[in-house]
């Protein structure tokens, strides 16, 4: 079997890719796989490499029309479904919907268009409602012939155990900070920037490779500045910056705030600067750690988490952010 070039682009997941390639080589491909691991470590790329290997006459050459169509998301026998907002609420929370699973069932019942098999990928399947998961379970209980299902998710507990137990589990690991910095360095990034990016992306190579350090810095500065503003000014800023409806940016703010509180707690507990996510702001964090009582930091951390979960549910970005800001004022630099 020739080597699919996409496999070569998957870094640090040798155990996962070896398992899949062994199944291909022995012609013992399972009906369903669960790719478990954090976002940004190569789960989706691996699913596409696997699809190429399954659909290409040469085992995934990477060059033929079939391989190219898989990579471009245009192969008729390969579908990738990711969470989408409700049809009637384009700004609502994204999820994999029961219609998606019904489409899978319908699609799986058809004979493959081109190749010997069909492959269906559910990306970010953590965001799946219970009725959707139950519908998926039905499909897994009577797997359609010649169809391979790949469910990609970060948290195994996001799905009922009955669903996972019917999938072969393939684990993906986060990369170590050193390891990731080394990879970034090998791609030509200078050493200090590699280390910063590696730390900030916390082992998620996909995040590191697509990151825009300048934009990240600007967002971090804006998020932390918001904490220092009086309440009335904060409300005006939410409007000016369009944050009142910007779910994605508010989620990024919550991530910044969460690690900010966590870093301050880490310093209070005697942790070193090497453990900080916001390492470039060590001096500010030390001041916060010295001034803010532990209980207030813990409260702020909990408030961010609660607001973040609300944002992933049905709470509007504005309300979620305003709620979190009430407790976050105390931890401003
Ligand atoms: Zn090919």
Query: Crossing angle of helices 294-312/317-328, nearest 10°?
Result: 180
Q: What separation in Å is there between the alpha carbon of 282 and the centre of ligand 1?
A: 50
> In this prediction, what percent of the chain has a pLDDT beyond 90?
54
Q: What separation in Å is there between the alpha carbon of 66 and the centre of ligand 1?
A: 6
pLDDT in tens, 216-257: 889 999 999 999 998 889 989 988 888 888 888 999 999 999
Q: What separation in Å is there between the alpha carbon of 15 and the centre of ligand 1?
A: 23
Per-range mean pLDDT, top range of 119-123, 195-199, 228-232:
119-123
Interacting residues of 199 by C-beta distance below 8 A, sequence separation 6+: 177, 277, 279
As a whole number of angstroms, the distance between CA 128 and CA 139 comes to 15
What are the b/e assignments for 195-213, b being 16+ CB within 10 Å?
Answer: bbbbbbbbbbbbbbbebee
Q: What separation in Å is there between the alpha carbon of 22 and the centre of ligand 1?
A: 18
pLDDT, position 3? 54
Across 93-113, average pLDDT: 87
As a whole number of angstroms, the distance between CA 217 and CA 62 comes to 37
Q: What separation in Å is there between the alpha carbon of 303 and the centre of ligand 1?
A: 50
Cα angle vertex 270, ends 269, 276, to 5°? 90
Helical H segments across 41-176, by residue range: 43-55, 65-71, 98-108, 130-141, 161-164
Q: What separation in Å is there between the alpha carbon of 64 and the centre of ligand 1?
A: 4
Q: What separation in Å is there between the alpha carbon of 49 and the centre of ligand 1?
A: 10
Q: What separation in Å is there between the alpha carbon of 145 and the centre of ligand 1?
A: 23
pLDDT, position 4? 56
Nearest CA to 123 out of 59, 203, 63, 51 is that of: 51
Q: What separation in Å is there between the alpha carbon of 107 and the centre of ligand 1?
A: 23
Give the model's confidence band at 132: pLDDT under 50 very low, under 70 low, under 90 confident, else very high: very high
Q: What separation in Å is there between the alpha carbon of 60 and the centre of ligand 1?
A: 4
pLDDT of 330 strictly over 50: yes
Q: What separation in Å is there between the alpha carbon of 112 and the centre of ligand 1?
A: 17
Q: What separation in Å is there between the alpha carbon of 175 and the centre of ligand 1?
A: 29
Q: What separation in Å is there between the alpha carbon of 52 and the centre of ligand 1?
A: 7
Q: What separation in Å is there between the alpha carbon of 47 and the centre of ligand 1?
A: 15
Across 118-123, average pLDDT: 94
DSSP states of 98-112 as a string?
Answer: HHHHHHHHHHHTSPP
- The three-class DSSP label of residue 122 is strand
As a whole number of angstroms, the distance between CA 154 and CA 1 comes to 31
As a whole number of angstroms, the distance between CA 78 and CA 74 comes to 8
Give the count of alpha carbons within 13 A of 277, CB side only: 19
Give the Cβ contact number of residue 10 at 10 Å.
20
Q: What separation in Å is there between the alpha carbon of 264 and the centre of ligand 1?
A: 51
The residue behind tokens 């009725």 is 131
Lowest mean pLDDT among 9-13, 34-38, 168-172, 233-237: 9-13
pLDDT in tens, 142-176: 888 889 999 999 999 999 999 999 999 999 998 88
CATH architecture of 5-171: 3-Layer(aba) Sandwich (3.40)
Q: What separation in Å is there between the alpha carbon of 30 and the centre of ligand 1?
A: 21
- Is the ipTM beyond the 0.85 threshold? yes
Q: What separation in Å is there between the alpha carbon of 80 and the centre of ligand 1?
A: 18
Long-range contacts of 181-184 (CB under 8 A, 24+ apart): 183/11, 183/12, 184/208, 184/209
Q: What separation in Å is there between the alpha carbon of 109 and the centre of ligand 1?
A: 25
Higher pLDDT, residue 72 or 109: 72
pLDDT, position 5? 66
Q: What separation in Å is there between the alpha carbon of 68 and the centre of ligand 1?
A: 7
pLDDT of 24 strictly over 90: yes
Give the model's confidence band at 8: pLDDT under 50 very low, under 70 low, under 90 confident, else very high: confident
- The three-class DSSP label of residue 187 is coil
- Residues 74, 76, 77, 79: what is their CA dihedral angle, to the nearest 10 degrees? 50
pLDDT of 2 strictly over 50: no
- Looking at every residue in the chain, the average pLDDT score rounds to 89
């Amino acid at each position: 079997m020739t080597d699919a070039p996409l496999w070569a682009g998957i870094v640090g997941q040798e155990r996962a890719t070896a398992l899949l390639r062994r199944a291909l080589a022995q012609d013992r491909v399972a009906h369903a796989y669960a790719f478990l691991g954090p976002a940004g470590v190569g789960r989706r790329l691996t699913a596409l490499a696997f699809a190429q290997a399954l659909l290409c006459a040469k085992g995934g050459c990477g060059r033929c029309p079939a391989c190219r169509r898989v990579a471009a998301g245009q192969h008729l026998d390969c579908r990738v479904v990711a969470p989408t907002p409700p049809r009637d609420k384009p700004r609502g929370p994204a999820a994999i919907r029961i219609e998606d699973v019904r489409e899978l069932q319908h699609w799986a019942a058809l004979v493959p268009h081109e190749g010997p098999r069909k492959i269906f990928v559910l990306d970010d399947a953590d965001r799946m409602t219970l009725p959707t998961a139950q519908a998926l379970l039905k499909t897994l209980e009577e797997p359609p012939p010649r169809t391979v299902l790949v469910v990609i998710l970060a948290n195994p507990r996001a799905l009922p155990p009955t669903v996972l137990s019917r999938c072969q589990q393939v684990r993906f690991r986060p990369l170590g900070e050193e390891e990731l910095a080394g990879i970034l360095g090998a791609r030509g990034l200078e050493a200090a920037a590699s280390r910063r990016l590696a730390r900030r992306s916390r082992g998620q190579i996909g995040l590191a490779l697509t990151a825009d350090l300048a934009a990240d810095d600007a967002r971090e500065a804006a998020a932390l500045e918001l904490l220092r503003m009086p309440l009335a000014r904060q409300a005006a800023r939410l409007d000016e910056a369009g944050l009142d409806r910007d779910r994605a940016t508010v989620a990024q703010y919550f991530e910044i705030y969460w690690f900010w509180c966590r870093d301050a707690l880490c310093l209070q507990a005697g942790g070193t600067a090497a453990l900080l996510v916001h390492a470039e702001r060590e001096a500010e964090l030390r001041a916060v750690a010295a001034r803010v009582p532990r209980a207030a930091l813990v409260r702020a951390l909990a408030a961010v988490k609660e607001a973040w979960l609300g944002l992933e549910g049905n709470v509007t970005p504005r309300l979620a952010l305003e709620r979190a800001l009430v407790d976050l004022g105390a931890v401003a630099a």
